């Protein structure tokens, strides 16, 4: 179990995080979790388990009602909105399910966007290297509308990696893709963890996607409902079935 | 960031078309107004009659009136008395002897006094004929093409006039001038070297002097020189200054036209006010319209903005981006509007000229200054709108990028920010305060002046809370709509309620168009009705004798002696300023002055006498409005000094205190005194009151007989009323034109916004059809939504206009409702409703054309 408090060098650490949306139900109910550097973690759970809220809070997109979130050694609760935005820009990469790219910008421009927002000189060499890594070096001048869904997700991954972030958050990155394309995208995420020690936290409900991770954390009703190291798709699926039943009993 | 802005603009052209169109038409309208304003400020009229004289001396048409009490002014402190410069309504003439003095100035080769007076030829209809002395023909210069110079009893006609009247040398012709008609023999025909907008008849100098009515006084003095015009003009100025003749002004070049066409200055003021009001209105409407188009295009890419926030764009960067996009579009639209703006300005100006608002001699100017000012004003409007929208864009929450359904991101429920509440409260408080001030303090036509600002305040107030109002109205309409329209209506209502923010983007401009148009038009019609009513009620005359060139003074006596006439009075109108005692807060336009004949005044006008008597109205007498007399501390028997219409000081004796209709208070002076200080020099009208039981037809016949031989016409009461209403019509016409333009502008923007908003709902429509809606049902739903949008906009617009009109109507006509045909209101709301429906249904028809599954396909 790596749910403890021992790793001061953790990429992301949540301590007793709670999130209420003002309707009496806690979307997150005292979640404590740590994610080590270079680790690929999948967060799973049935609908309404608090997966999305967890991602929003862990990535600094939203503020928890209670508890602390530490990202790359920085307590997010201490930051102003502008500082938080800058931290996201510099230390966090995002891959969403869909609508990851600005339709007005080319592949290359989309990838470079975080640099431009930070007012940094675009590093052409780095873009070349990253686009080659995701296999889209020839498509750099295309607009997102001219790419397939899988290619768009690969561009999104390239953009997430360009700042060399402390952690990449992926929200159902394969949710809108067919199985074969999904496998390519997941392999790319896996590869970035293995090759360059990237930390990846992926929220998904797909057991096959989760099987690419180093470990799976299960959420149910806003609480941690278990963990599975070195998962296989079958094991995850079985656990999920169980979790669904457990959640049904608990409800 | 700039690159992102440019690329976004290029790729998302569609989304910015609405903003572009809004800015473009706004800029065209504003630059047209700016052109009219430049024209008004310059009031340039090229000299025609005086074009032959390089230097012209004319009367100083401006005087200074005190802005602080001279009695309290401490001249020992060395500070000058505070004054304001006002333009005199009547022509200021010069001593004709000045010409002789100027002739001795070195470099001057000649100086000729010019007199001009209206003349009429029975055979050449139409006004615009001026009589002059033949020795001043050189001022144009007119040269004889046939015949010889006129001797006494002879005349020379300009060639064009002779052709029009079918006259030639040797013919005899009757010419009416200065109230009398005389027979003249045509001695010659003369031609000018350029096109003249007015015709000329020349007389022998002695005849001209007599006919002008002001012997020894000249309208202008033309100075000839062969040397350097500027240098000689400066020398002439020096000489006049030494002679302490501050009454004279020396002008050269195009400015000489001022002396020839003094009415150009008056029309200039009209143009300035008109263009200022319209331009200002256009700019404020532009802020609204651009804000609503920008808000819509921003809202439609909410997810894009949220994504930008998620990957590290600060709110500030997002605001800058929205601002950059808006300014980019705004700049392009403004630049492209420069040329059409010029044409629009010229077009409007031509309409003004055609309708007699501006004399044809005024030259239209639209230089680079108004273009720059207009562009600046429009860009400022865009900037303000973009700042407001950008502020909202900066508040997009990054988590919205993760929302799974597009609809979820598009619907924002939180809109009532503290800023909005404060702004709304301020505006409503302001509107209410204006209403209270109007009702409590103001009286008469002045009350209309608060209506313009009041409309804008109410409109801004309603606009700030329009999403809430939209939602509330949708809730209110729930039952009736559901009863009549079933499931389509129900869905339309849900859409309107849930998408209140989107719908309010269209509601706001409809509200503006309806509100502004209704308020302005009914303000105009009510003002007209009140003025016509006041005129009709105050008019005690049963008949009127009028002569365009003035009435001979002896006519009054003759008419008074006609059997069946109970009373007759000359009727002169002009303006006067109070000089002594000091009157604080005197208007730039002065106070109306009425010239009446003493023994007929009481019978022919509705002026109520509070103290003293109008019978004593002769010599240096004046009757003063009672309230003013109280303010000035003057009573019957006291003296006071006025500056009359031509700037002359008149030390007068108060013979009566009078009470008139509120807003129409005026001095009453002896007709002959006032007339001698007007441009014409004579009374233009004679009011006649019949004895009870005298038939109007009989009266008219007798009056015609009594005035035979004079260049006059006899009309009845209706003639007078019709003439008065006609005078109002010009003002009304301008108002309608300008309101029409503002309305058209707003309507274009509404259509724009709606087309864009509806076209973007393809996915939603597709989804509805997949769930079992027929295409007709979807269209019906869209139609009901359009109807709801129009209805809400119209209701709000009506409320807004009521906020401005009702206080005015209460003051002006003691009624809650304005006077004027209902059809105007019906036309305005009909237009608004029809346009909204068309702008919703046509794009909806296009959006539902394909197969429903195409529309729901994922992707941008």
Closest by CA position to A158, among listed A183, A179, A137: A137
What's the pLDDT score for residue B56?
A: 92
A74 Cα to chain B: minimum distance (Å):
16
Quickly count: other Cβ atoms within 10 Å of residue B16's Cβ: 24
Q: How far apart are CA B753 and CA B219, in angstroms?
A: 58
Q: Which residues of A touch B860 (CB under 8 A)?
A: 99, 103, 144-145
Of the residues B304, B309, B311, B413, the best mutation for testing chain A's interface (the one with the most A CB atoms within 10 Å of its CB) is: B311
A175 Cα to chain B: minimum distance (Å):
10
Closest by CA position to B113, among listed B143, B89, B135, B130: B135
List Cα–Cα distances, B224 to B136, B195, B252, B451, in angstroms.
12, 21, 11, 52
Q: Which residues of chain B have pLDDT under 50?
A: 404-411, 856-860
| B312 contacts A85? CB cut-off 8 A | yes
How open is the CA angle B660-B664-B670, to the nearest 5 degrees?
70
| B399 contacts A103? CB cut-off 8 A | no
Q: How far apart are CA B339 and CA B337, in angstroms?
A: 6
Residue of A nearest to B7 (CA): A104
| A159 contacts B12? CB cut-off 8 A | no
List Cα–Cα distances, A134 to A175, A229, B636, B766, in angstroms.
19, 27, 101, 35
Q: How far apart are CA B781 and CA A19, in angstroms?
A: 40
B11 Cα to chain A: minimum distance (Å):
6
Q: Given CB atoms, is A142 within the 8 Å cutoff of chain B? A: no
| A176 contacts B311? CB cut-off 8 A | no
How open is the CA angle A186-A190-A192, to the nearest 5 degrees?
115
Residue of A nearest to B308 (CA): A102
Least confident span in A164-173, A197-206, B768-777: B768-777
How open is the CA angle A26-A27-A29, to the nearest 5 degrees?
60
Q: Could you tell me which residues come within 8 angstroms of residue B43 by beta carbon, excluding any fewer than 6 positions away?
A: B258, B264, B265, B267, B268, B362
B530-545 in b/e burial notation, b at 16+ Cβ within 10 A? bbeebbeeebbbbbbb
Q: Could you tell me which residues come within 8 angstroms of residue B664 by beta carbon, excluding any fewer than 6 positions away?
A: B444, B534, B538, B592
Quickly count: other Cβ atoms within 10 Å of residue B768's Cβ: 21
A36 Cα to chain B: minimum distance (Å):
22
Of the residues B6, B13, B310, the best mutation for testing chain A's interface (the one with the most A CB atoms within 10 Å of its CB) is: B310
Task: Give the ranges where chain A is alpha helix by DSSP (H).
Answer: 51-58, 81-91, 107-117, 124-133, 149-161, 179-196, 207-210, 233-250
| B399 contacts A99? CB cut-off 8 A | no
Percent of chain A residues topping a pLDDT of 90: 16
| B860 contacts A99? CB cut-off 8 A | yes
Tokens of A142: 């295309």
Report phi then psi at B567, rounded to 5: -170, 150
Q: Could you tell me which residues come within 8 angstroms of residue A198 by beta carbon, excluding any fewer than 6 positions away?
A: A38, A161, A165, A168, A192
Q: How far apart are CA B149 and CA B134, in angstroms?
A: 7
What's the pLDDT score for residue A3?
A: 42
Q: How far apart are CA A97 and CA B858, in angstroms?
A: 12
B62-91 in b/e burial notation, b at 16+ Cβ within 10 A? ebebbeeeeeeeeeeeeeeeeeeebebbbb
**Residue from the list A102, A109, A159 with its beta carbon closest to the beta carbon of B304:** A102
Does a cis peptide bond (omega within 30 degrees of 0) precede residue B141? yes
B588 Cα to chain A: minimum distance (Å):
55
List Cα–Cα distances, A136 to A106, A147, A204, in angstroms.
12, 10, 25
What's the pLDDT score for residue B860?
A: 35
Q: How far apart are CA A149 and CA B859, in angstroms?
A: 9
The pLDDT tens digits for B303-322 are 778 888 888 888 888 888 88
**Residue from the list A82, A102, A171 with its beta carbon closest to the beta carbon of B314:** A82
| B310 contacts A88? CB cut-off 8 A | yes
Structure ipTM over 0.90, yes or no: no
As a whole number of Å, the end-to-end CA separation of chain B is 22
Q: How far apart are CA B528 and CA B813, in angstroms?
A: 11
Helices B822-847 & B500-538 angle (0-180, nearest 10): 160
What's the pLDDT score for residue B401?
A: 59
Q: How far apart are CA B103 and CA B112, in angstroms?
A: 9
Q: Reduce the DSSP state of residue A95 to 3 states and report it.
A: strand
List Cα–Cα distances, B148 to A163, B83, B144, B188, B207, in angstroms.
99, 52, 7, 5, 16
| A117 contacts B317? CB cut-off 8 A | yes
| B303 contacts A109? CB cut-off 8 A | no
Parallel/antiparallel/unpaired status of strands B543-546 and B143-147: unpaired
Task: Go through the domains of chain A in sequence order and give each one's CATH number.
Answer: 36-64+81-250 (3.40.50.300)
Helices B717-759 & B822-847 angle (0-180, nearest 10): 20
B394 Cα to chain A: minimum distance (Å):
11
Of the residues B8, B11, B312, B317, the best mutation for testing chain A's interface (the one with the most A CB atoms within 10 Å of its CB) is: B312
Report phi then psi at A200, rounded to 5: -130, 130
Residue of B nearest to A105 (CA): B7
List Cα–Cα distances, A122 to A127, A160, B118, in angstroms.
8, 15, 80
What's the pLDDT score for residue A102?
A: 78
Tokens of A4: 């403890």
CB–CB contacts below 8 A, A to B: 88
The pLDDT tens digits for B824-855 are 889 889 988 988 888 888 888 888 877 665 55
Tokens of B810: 């209460």
B388 Cα to chain A: minimum distance (Å):
20
Q: Which residues of B touch A113 (CB under 8 A)?
A: 4, 311
Closest by CA position to B148, among listed B188, B108, B176, B117: B188
| A90 contacts B308? CB cut-off 8 A | no
| DSSP secondary structure letters along B699-752 | HHHHHHHHTTTSS-EEEEHHHHHHHHHHHHHHHHHHHHHHHHHHHHHHHHHHHH
Quickly count: other Cβ atoms within 10 Å of residue B429's Cβ: 12
Q: How far apart are CA A201 and CA A94, in angstroms?
A: 10
Q: How far apart are CA B683 and CA B552, in angstroms?
A: 8
**Cα dihedral: B788, B792, B793, B797 (round 10):** 150
Q: How far apart are CA B624 and CA B434, in angstroms?
A: 31
Proportion of chain A in helix, strand, coil states, percent, rounded to 5: 40, 25, 35
Q: How far apart are CA B180 and CA B709, in angstroms?
A: 8
**Residue from the list B4, B398, B859 with its beta carbon closest to the beta carbon of A61:** B398
| A103 contacts B11? CB cut-off 8 A | yes
What's the pLDDT score for residue B449?
A: 72
Residue of B nearest to A88 (CA): B312
Tokens of B778: 């979807």
Element (H, E) at B621: strand B621-625
Q: Reduce the DSSP state of residue B480 to 3 states and report it.
A: helix
Contact by Cβ (8 Å): A166, A71: yes
| DSSP secondary structure letters along B161-199 | HHHHHT--TT-EEEEEETTEEEEEEEEEEEE-SS--SSE
Q: How far apart are CA B28 and CA B36, in angstroms?
A: 12
What's the pLDDT score for residue B207?
A: 92
The answer for A 44-103 residues in CB contact with B (under 8 A) is: 52, 55-56, 61-62, 81-82, 85-86, 88-90, 92, 94, 96-100, 102-103
In this structure, what DSSP letter does residue B477 have? T
Rounded CA Rg of chain B: 33
| A98 contacts B304? CB cut-off 8 A | no
**Residue from the list B309, B311, B402 with its beta carbon closest to the beta carbon of A114:** B311
Helices B717-759 & B500-538 angle (0-180, nearest 10): 180
Does a cis peptide bond (omega within 30 degrees of 0) precede residue B609? no
B281 Cα to chain A: minimum distance (Å):
36
């Amino acid at each position: 179990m790596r749910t403890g408090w021992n790793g001061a060098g953790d990429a992301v650490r949540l301590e007793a995080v709670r999130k209420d949306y003002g309707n009496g139900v806690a979307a997150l109910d005292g979640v404590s979790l740590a994610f080590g550097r270079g680790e690929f973690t999948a967060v799973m759970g049935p609908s309404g388990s608090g997966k999305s809220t967890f991602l929003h809070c862990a990535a600094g997109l939203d503020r928890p009602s209670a508890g602390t979130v530490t990202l790359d050694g920085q307590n997010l609760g201490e930051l102003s909105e502008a500082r938080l935005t800058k931290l996201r820009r510099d230390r966090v990469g995002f891959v969403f399910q869909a609508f990851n790219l600005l339709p007005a910008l080319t592949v290359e421009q989309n990838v470079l966007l975080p640099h431009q927002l930070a007012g940094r000189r675009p590093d052409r060499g780095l873009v070349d290297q990253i686009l080659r890594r995701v296999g889209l070096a020839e498509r750099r001048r295309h607009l997102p509308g001219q790419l397939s869904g899988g290619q768009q997700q690969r561009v999104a991954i390239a953009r997430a990696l360009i700042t060399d972030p402390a952690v990449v958050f992926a929200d159902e990155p394969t949710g809108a893709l067919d199985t074969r394309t999904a496998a390519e995208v997941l392999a790319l995420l896996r590869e970035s963890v293995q090759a360059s020690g990237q930390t990846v936290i992926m929220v998904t409900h797909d057991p096959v996607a989760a099987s690419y991770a180093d470990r799976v954390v299960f959420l149910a009703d806003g609480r941690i409902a278990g963990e599975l190291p070195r998962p296989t798709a079958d094991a995850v699926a079985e656990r999920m079935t169980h979790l669904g039943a457990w959640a049904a009993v608990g409800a | 960031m700039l690159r992102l802005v440019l690329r976004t603009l290029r790729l998302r052209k569609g989304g910015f078309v609405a903003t572009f169109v809004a800015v473009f038409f706004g800029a065209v309208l504003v630059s047209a107004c700016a052109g009219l304003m430049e024209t008004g400020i310059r009031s340039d009229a090229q000299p025609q009659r005086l074009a032959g004289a390089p230097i012209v001396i004319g009367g100083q048409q401006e005087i200074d009136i005190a802005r602080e009490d001279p009695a309290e002014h401490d001249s020992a402190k060395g500070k000058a008395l505070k004054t304001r410069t006002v333009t005199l309504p009547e022509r200021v003439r010069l001593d004709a002897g000045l010409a002789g003095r100027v002739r001795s100035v070195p470099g001057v080769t000649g100086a000729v006094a010019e007199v001009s007076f209206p003349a009429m030829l029975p055979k050449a209809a139409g006004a615009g004929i001026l009589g002059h002395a033949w020795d001043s023909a050189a001022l144009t210069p007119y040269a004889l093409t046939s015949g010889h110079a006129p001797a006494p009893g002879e005349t020379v006609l300009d060639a064009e006039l002779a052709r029009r009247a079918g006259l030639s040398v040797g013919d005899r012709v009757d010419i009416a001038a200065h109230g009398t008609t005389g027979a003249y023999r045509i001695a010659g025909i003369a031609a000018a070297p350029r096109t003249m907008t007015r015709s000329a008849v020349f007389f022998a100098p002695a005849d001209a002097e007599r006919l002008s009515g002001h012997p020894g006084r000249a309208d202008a003095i033309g100075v000839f020189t062969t040397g350097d015009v500027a240098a000689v003009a400066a020398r002439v100025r020096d000489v006049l200054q030494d002679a302490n003749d501050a009454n004279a002004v020396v002008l050269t070049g195009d400015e000489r036209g001022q002396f020839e066409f003094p009415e150009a200055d008056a029309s200039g003021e009209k143009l300035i006010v008109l263009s200022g009001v319209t331009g200002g209105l256009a700019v404020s409407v532009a802020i609204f319209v651009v804000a609503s188009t920008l808000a819509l295009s921003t809202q439609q890419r909410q997810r894009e903005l949220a994504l930008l926030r998620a990957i590290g764009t600060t709110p500030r960067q997002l605001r800058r981006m929205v601002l950059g996009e808006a300014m980019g579009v705004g700049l392009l639209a403004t630049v492209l509007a420069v040329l059409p703006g010029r044409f629009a300005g010229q077009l409007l100006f031509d309409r003004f000229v055609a309708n007699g608002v501006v004399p044809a001699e005024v030259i239209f100017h639209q230089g680079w200054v108004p273009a720059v000012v207009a562009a600046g004003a429009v860009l400022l409007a865009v900037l303000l709108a973009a700042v407001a929208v950008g502020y909202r864009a900066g508040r997009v929450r990054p988590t919205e990028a993760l929302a799974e359904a597009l609809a979820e991101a598009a619907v924002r429920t939180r809109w009532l920010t503290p800023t909005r509440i404060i702004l709304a409260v301020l505006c409503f408080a302001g509107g209410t305060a204006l209403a209270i001030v109007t009702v409590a303090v103001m009286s008469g036509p002045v009350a209309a002046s608060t209506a313009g600002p009041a409309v804008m305040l109410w409109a801004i107030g309603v606009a700030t809370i329009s999403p809430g109002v939209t939602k509330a109205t949708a809730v209110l309409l729930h039952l009736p709509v559901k009863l009549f329209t079933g499931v389509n209506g129900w869905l339309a209502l849900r859409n309107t309620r849930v998408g209140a923010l989107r719908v309010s983007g269209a509601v706001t401009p409809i509200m503006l168009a309806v509100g502004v148009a209704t308020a302005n038009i009914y303000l105009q019609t009510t003002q007209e009705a009140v003025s016509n009513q006041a005129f009709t009620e105050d008019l005690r005359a049963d008949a009127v004798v009028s002569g365009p060139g003035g009435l001979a003074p002896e006519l009054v006596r003759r008419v008074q002696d006609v059997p069946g006439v109970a009373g007759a009075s000359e009727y002169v109108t002009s303006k006067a300023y109070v000089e002594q005692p000091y009157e604080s807060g005197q208007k730039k336009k002065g106070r109306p002055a009425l010239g009446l004949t003493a023994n007929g005044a009481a019978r022919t006008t509705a002026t109520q006498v509070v103290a003293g008597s109008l019978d004593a109205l002769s010599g240096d007498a004046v009757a003063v409005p009672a309230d003013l007399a109280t303010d000035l501390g003057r009573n019957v028997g006291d003296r006071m000094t006025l500056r009359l219409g031509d700037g002359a000081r008149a030390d007068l004796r108060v013979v009566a205190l009078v009470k008139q209709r509120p807003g129409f208070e005026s001095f009453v002076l002896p007709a002959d005194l006032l007339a001698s200080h007007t441009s014409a020099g004579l009374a233009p009208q004679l009011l006649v009151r019949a004895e009870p039981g005298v038939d109007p037809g009989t009266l008219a016949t007798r009056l015609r007989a009594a005035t035979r031989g004079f260049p006059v016409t006899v009309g009845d009461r209706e003639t007078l009323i019709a003439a008065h209403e006609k005078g109002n019509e010009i003002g009304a016409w301008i108002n309608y034109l300008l309101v029409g333009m503002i309305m058209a502008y707003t309507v274009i923007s509404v259509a724009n916004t709606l087309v864009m908003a509806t076209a973007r709902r393809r996915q939603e429509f597709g989804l509805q059809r997949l769930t079992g809606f027929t295409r007709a049902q979807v269209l019906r739903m869209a139609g009901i939504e359009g109807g709801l949008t129009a209805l809400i906009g119209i209701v709000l617009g009506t409320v807004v206009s009521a906020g401005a009109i009702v206080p005015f109507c209460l003051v002006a006509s003691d009624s809650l409702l304005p006077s004027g045909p209902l059809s105007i209101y019906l036309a305005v709301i009909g237009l608004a409703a029809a346009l909204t429906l068309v702008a919703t249904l046509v794009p909806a028809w296009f959006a539902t054309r394909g197969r429903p599954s195409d529309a729901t396909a994922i992707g941008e």
